[in-house]
Structure formats: C-alpha cells, structure tokens
Amino acid sequence: MTKRVYLFKEGNATMRNLLGGKGANLAEMTNAGLPVPQGLTITTETCMEYISNGNKMPEGLMDDVRTALADVERETGKKFGDASNPLLLSVRSGARLSMPGMMETILNLGLNDETLKGLISLTNNDRFAYDSYRRFITMFGSVVLHIEREKFEHILDEIKEKEGAKLDTDVSVAGLKEAGELYKGLVKSETGKEFPQDPMTQLQLAIEAVFSSWNIPRAIAYRNHYKIPHNYGTAVNVQSMVFGNMGNDSATGVSFTRNPSTGENLFYGEYLTNAQGEDVVAGIRTPKQISELATEMPELYKQYVDIAQKLERHYKDIQDMEFTIERGKLYILQTRNGKRTSAASVRIAVEMADEGIITKERAVQLVDPGQLYQLMLPSFDPIAKKSGKLIGSGLAASPGAAVGKIVFDTDEAAERGAAGEKIILVRIETCPDDIHGMIVAQGVLTLRGGMTSHAAVVAKGMGKPCVAGCETLRIDLKNETLTAADGTVYKKNDVISMDGGEGQIFEGSIATIEPKMDENFTKLFKWVDGIKRLAVRANADTPADVDKAVELGAEGVGLCRTEHMFMEQDRLPVVQQMIIAGTEEARREALAKLLPMQYQDFKDMFRALKGLPMTIRLLDPPLHEFLPSKEELIAEVATGKALNQDVSAKEVLLCKVEELSESNPMMGLRGCRLGLTYPEINEMQVRAIFEAACDLKKEGMEVKPEIMIPLIGHVNELKTAREQLESVAEQVMAERGVRVDYQFGTMIEIPRAALTADQVAEYAEFFSFGTNDLTQMTFGYSRDDAEGKFLNNYIENKILPENPFETLDQEGVGQLMKIAIEKGKSVRPGIKLGICGEHGGEDKSVKFCHSIGLNYVSCSPFRVPVARLAAAQAVLEEQGERTLVTH
C-alpha cells in the first residue's frame, strides 16, 4: 500500500517531489538535529489523488494521520484535543517548487472552548490564549469556511475603536475574549453552523482546504507564469505549534542568510517580539531588523546565525528561514532557497564560488536565465512602487521600468522622443509603421495584442518595456485621452509609469534604479563561455543594435531584418514609389535610389561587427505593410475632395493598396515569393550587400555575409532565387576586383521545407529555423489572434502546457527541426544550423537547441546573456553537473 503520511524523521532532502520542498527540508533539518517542531507531511501524490477523486479525501487517510499524530504527541508530551495539555498544530502547504504565499496556511489548529481553558491554565497567560483563539477562528473561517477576512477584521476594528486601542496588541484581554465570541457568531450567521469544536474535524477540513488551494486562481496563475506543471500537487505539513506571542522572551521572524536584494553576504531579516509569524508580514506592527536581536537576545542570536550558516553550506544556496522563539527557546520552522533579485543572484553565485561553498559550475547553475534578462533593464524602486497608484494591468510583454508622458500619435512620439523628451507610446495596437515612434519611446502600451504581438517582439528586441493587451483601459484617439477602469481620465502629456515585467501601469512618476554590469557579472560570464558549446548571435538591424549585442557577448548577427531599414523616415517614400511603380523600369528607378542607402546600411553593420558573421534576411513582409492602411487613405481622399484638394496621388496609392490586399497575408505574396515575382528587389539588396562587403575587404577588414532567402516551401524556389542572386554577387565581386567569403542559405519556417530538407540542403550552406512562423504554420494558429482569443484559455485549462510562441514546442515544431537537421546533414554534413526566432532567447528553448545539435541561437541583443547562460547550463545538465558541488 502506498505510504501517504511521513513523520519528519522519516524523510530527507531527496524526497522533495513526494514531500514538497518544505516537507523535505523540515525532514532534513530534523535528521540533522536542528530544533524543529515535530510534525508530519502528507504527500503531493495524495493531493493529486484528492483532486482527481473530485476533491474527496482518500479512504483511510485520516487514520494514517491519527497514527502519525500519536507519535508527535509522544515526542512533545502534549495531546491533540486534550483540555489540560493541548497540542496545537499549524497546517501549511508545501509544493516541490516554492510558491510563496500562493496557497493556504492555518495556525493554532486544535483550539476550541475547552482547550482554550487548558492553554490559559498551562501558560498562565490569558492574553496569549484569547489572542491565539481569535487568530485561529479568523484563519479557519477565511481559509476553510470561505468567509471574507475583512468581516473578522471589521469586528476587531470596532473593538479597538471602542477601547481607544491603536494596535491589535493594545486590545485588552476582555476585548480579545469578546472578539472570539463575536467571530464565532459571524461563523454561525455566515454558514448556518456553529464553529467546529472537534479538533479532528478541524484538522480534516484544514487538510482538505490546503489540498484544494492547489487549484485556486492565484496558484494556477503563478504556475502558469513560472511554467510549473499543474500535476505536481502540494504536500500538507502538519506541525506542532510553537508560540512567539507568549511574552517578551518570545519572538518570531523571517531572515535570509544573505541580502536578497543586493546579494551582500550579510545576515538579513526582520522579527517581532511577542508576536506570531503572520504579524511580521501583515504590517500590523513595524518589525525590527534582525541585527537588533543580537542586543535583545544575544545567545539566541548567535545560535540562530550558526544554524543559518550551516543550512546555507548544507543546501549550497541562499536560505530563506522562518523562526520562532518560545520562552527563550529557538525553533526553526522552515528553510528554503531564497528568492532574490537578478543582481543579487549573480553576486551570490560568484561569491559563494569564491568562498569555496560551491564550484564554478554550480555557480553557473544557480542563476536563473529568465531572471537574468531583468538585470539588463531599469527597475522600479520597490518602496516607491508600493506607494504608487495602479491604473491598469495587462500582459507583461517586455520587462523593464519606464516613466514618461502619454503620447498617442506615432509621428509625434518620434519627433518628441528624438528631441529628448521621455514619452510612453500608447496605442490600441502597433504595426511596423510605428517603429520610429517605438525606437525613441521609453516604453510601449497597447490595448490589444499578445506576448508575441508586434509591440511585444519589437520592444523585447529593443530592450524596451511593453505592456500589451491592457483591456481595462480605453483610448479616445479623437480627444487624446486614456480612461482607467475607475473612470479616471488621463490626457496627452500626463505622466505614467509602466512595469513591463509585471504588466502594470501606474499614475505619475515612480523612481527607477539603473542596472549595473559589475565585476561579478563579468566573472560569471567568463565561466559561462568556458562551458557552453552553442554559439550565441543577436537579431540586429542597426549598428547600435550590433554594438549593444557585442557588448553583451554576441558572436555575430543571426538575423538582420532588411525590412526594418526600409521603414525609416527617409526611405519610406522611396519604398512606396517602388511599390506603386507600374513597370519594371519604374521599379528599378526607385530601387536605384534605395541602393546607396542599403549600401551604407550594410557597410555600417559590417564595420560594427569587426569580422563577425552576419546573416541577412532578404525582404520578407508583404508589400502592403509599407503603405498606409486602406481605411486611412479612404478618409484622406474623402477629406481632400471635400476641401477641393488634389487627391490624385492618394487615389493611386489607394488603388495599389486595394490591389495588394490579401485575405491571408501571412501565407501570401511575401518572402521568396516576393523576390521571385519582383527579382529586381532582391537583386538590389544583394548588390548593396556585396558592394559594401567588397569595399570593406579592400580596406583590410574581414567581412562574412550570409544571405538568407526566406519562406522557402519548395526546393525550386531556393534553386531559382540562388541562381539569380549569386550571379549578382559574382558580378559585383568582379566589378570591385575582390572576393569575399559568403554563404547562401534559407530559413526553415514552412513544414514542407523541414520535411524536404535533404533537397533544400543541396542549395543551402546553412539553415536558420524561423520558429515564430514555423510554430504558426505547424499549429495552424495566427499568433496575434490565438493570444488574443483562446491561447490563454488553452493554457489555463491545460489543453496546452505552455504558450508555444514563448517556449518552443518540442513535441511538434521540435520534431520538424530534428527531421530537417537529419535530412540536411545527410546531403551536406557540414551544414551550419541556427535558430533566429524569439525562442532563441528563451532558456528552455535554448537548451533544446543544444540537445539537437544546432551550431548557434540568435535572439534580441538584450537576451544574449540569457541565451549564453542557458547554453552553458545545457552542457552542465547533460553532464549531470547539477550535483557536482564541493563538500
């Protein structure tokens, strides 16, 4: 029969999956002889059994609990439910991965009208006993009986007002006694039943409540955000209570072995004398700094510091500990690996390695790649943010902190931002036309769109904060106002602050903290680069992008999107002239104007790369993206006619927009199809690339152009395009009298290209997996529509484990990649393999790319360190280095 209940002394740290993180750590500390209150753990498997059984307790579970509880009674000398010497319990959740504050906790369980008398007699402390009872009724009533906690607090507030008490601790014993009686009356009026007096009934209901809390909305949302599987379940820890509120020789607190904000190797935390643990975090009283305990209780402080240091060396990570002092005796209630800021994470890992606690390899494993991205971006001062007014929430599309004036018009944003004003671009949604406004904005806020919408992807690439899909806000473009859900209206030029990492918008200006790449960061990444095998490139479209990418460790450019160059203000009219041209001759005339611009673009990019390779994707999007919208042109034509203006040029443009209109542009005239239909466009781009490369080669500079032909579905598309374009390359090199090393390759972003990769490889020196489009075409999802309509629902209802546009789908898209690699190598064994979708900067996706043998990943410049770290961790996980630590 499966064992469902373990005493603390029966477990150990290796049983985390079964006992949860808290239960495994309590067992480990118990067996190490540390002062841990006795208790038992109900397994995570039992939780999932309870949930799969329709939230019904497994048969025989409470009998197992009674048996284990009898052992706790023997160890403590107290008896559960006994009127003279009662054993009181805490009932807490404890998942295998830390989910702080997401599930439920109940303290002082076992108190009733009879055991209350025993507690008074035993402690000779009426205040403590009545305070403990009213706390228990509050927690049990809110967590188990689902009564609003505010109703209990309202009763206590009325008593405090009547007595003139400022704090809870100022309430008289009579007031606490009255509160308990009124609380029981509230339970009766809310539930129709008396407050349960039988301790075993209390315990069973509490266990059920903790099991059920695995699936409360905030716990589900937390797991979705941190990609924690929903089938893990939570353990339940039933532990004998110790009390920090038994007088001035008692205390309770929370501490970290190092500062979790800065990483400084300094004991950090807070405590309260004569209090219970919830008081420390509830803000009812102002806690004291843990260092003050050295003066107040010096011997206990020394004992606690010694234990903390032992725990850190044992678990080889920063520890977050809870403790209670009961009548001069110290108890450790919990230890777990501490949450920390990205900056603290790097410092802690490096310094622990320098101190000899862990190896360099372990240090690399200690830093979370996803969290590392935040280190690249400004963040809000947490104290200032706490006091800010939240006006709206959306999707945390691109992390970072931004403060600026609201601007709704992209052109105005571009002009004012270029002049040095700090602005936030606020749009219903963004499109490629908005790029110039986004470039100079401090951050981007959209009412529509998902995590990989245009706004999100571009903002991430720029390292700019973005909140997308903020549907609680309303925009009135005519009057240039933004209205919050509470009716507050914000006008153009009003200042707002946005936290892209949390998806939050605040009123006014909140102070920010700038990131610092210090010596710890540099040292850690020397270790990283000495371990990883996968190269990391960057997606970059400007020399500034290249400079930032190389600064952050990029080994080249894996994707240069030439269409972004076309969107610049001085180019767009020429591009539009080329698009509306009625003949090839007229098109070539416009392209001749673009040639020197593209030449300079590529020359600047090659120069910035200083010999590192650059993969240049030829024009990919459909041509209509470079033209105004149909609706906008219709309105302009109508307005112009009403004012007797000449609108012939706009009418020509409108006709072209209607001509280029497609029912499904993503699968229409774009990519290589565009280049094969209008070959002169790609010929101009290739000429510009090779003229720039040849001229720099003459100057003695190394250049490595890699020409990427997008959206290949059939080998003949690549064969035809390459033949046309390679002849242009050869012609330019002959004209310039110099040769450069170059490669032609393709993006694998259509499933058919992956399935016929052996044919495609005959004409490609490299494959770059465009996983954004490959994911869309494999799933049959439109990215923006899916995220806006049903994808979140799919994830919440466990139809999909996670968003496939954020984390690479290994079972579907990943299998297509494997097929393409195997087939490509069968024809061209030395073919270069990379990835250039946003997945190239997501840690789990990077590790998958390592496992299938890619040569490089490419991501936005600010995600380069994330990818480098993930690539190193992939090697260590492959080697089992996770357990290689010093002892």
Which amino acid is present at 585?
E
Which amino acid is present at 37?
P
Find the DSSP H helices in 355-434. 360-366, 369-372, 382-386, 410-418
Which amino acid is present at 290?
I
Q: Which is catalytic among the residues 47, 560, 694, 836?
A: 836
Residue 695 CA, chain-centre distance (Å), reads 44
C-alpha distances in Å from residue 414, one per residue of 433, 435, 437, 718: 11, 9, 4, 38
Q: Is 714 a catalytic residue?
A: no
> Could you say which DSSP state residue 79 is in?
B
For residues 718 and 728, give the distance between their C-alpha atoms in angstroms, rounded to a whole number.
15
Q: Which is catalytic among the residues 454, 624, 839, 850?
A: 454
Those residues whose C-beta lies under 8 Å from the C-beta of residue 144, and which sit 6 or more positions away, are 106, 205, 206, 208, 209
**Do residues 341 and 261 touch, judged by C-beta distance below 8 A?**
yes
Those residues whose C-beta lies under 8 Å from the C-beta of residue 135, and which sit 6 or more positions away, are 107, 108, 276, 278
> Could you say which DSSP state residue 292 is in?
G
For residues 416 and 454, give the distance between their C-alpha atoms in angstroms, rounded to a whole number.
22
For residues 399 and 510, give the distance between their C-alpha atoms in angstroms, rounded to a whole number.
16
For residues 190 and 795, give the distance between their C-alpha atoms in angstroms, rounded to a whole number.
35
Those residues whose C-beta lies under 8 Å from the C-beta of residue 290, and which sit 6 or more positions away, are 253, 255, 267, 268, 269, 270, 271
For residues 468 and 395, give the distance between their C-alpha atoms in angstroms, rounded to a whole number.
5
Those residues whose C-beta lies under 8 Å from the C-beta of residue 815, and which sit 6 or more positions away, are none
C-alpha distances in Å from residue 218, one per residue of 191, 225, 454: 24, 10, 28
Strand ranges for 434-526 from DSSP E: 443-446, 466-468, 474-476, 481-483, 489-491, 495-499, 504-507, 512-513
Burial 697-726 (b: 16+ CB within 10 A, else e): beeeeebbbbbbbbbbbebebbbbbbebbe
Instruction: For residue 241, count CB atoms less than 10 angstroms from its CB and return exposed for 0-12, middle for 13-18, buried for 19 or more.
Output: buried
Neighbouring C-beta atoms of residue 9, cutoff 10 Å: 16
Compute the half-sphere exposure of residue 65: CA atoms within 13 Å on the CB side of its CA.
27
DSSP assignment of 222-289 equals HHHHHT--TTS-EEEEEEE---S-SSTT-EEEEEESS-TTT--SS-EEEEEES--HHHHHHTSSPPEE
Say what the alpha-carbon torsion angle 142, 144, 147, 152 is, to the nearest 10 degrees.
Answer: -40
**Do residues 319 and 256 touch, judged by C-beta distance below 8 A?**
yes
The pair of three-digit structure tokens given for residue 511, joined into one six-digit string: 């102070």
**Do residues 332 and 255 touch, judged by C-beta distance below 8 A?**
no
**Do residues 265 and 258 touch, judged by C-beta distance below 8 A?**
yes
**Do residues 465 and 399 touch, judged by C-beta distance below 8 A?**
yes
Q: Is 47 a catalytic residue?
A: no
The pair of three-digit structure tokens given for residue 651, joined into one six-digit string: 């009418």
The pair of three-digit structure tokens given for residue 486, joined into one six-digit string: 């509470």
129-133 long-range Cβ contacts below 8 angstroms, 24+ apart: 130/173, 130/176, 130/177, 130/179, 130/180, 131/176, 131/245, 132/88, 132/108, 132/243, 132/245, 132/276, 133/108, 133/180
Residue 572 CA, chain-centre distance (Å), reads 36
Q: What residues act catalytically?
A: 454, 836
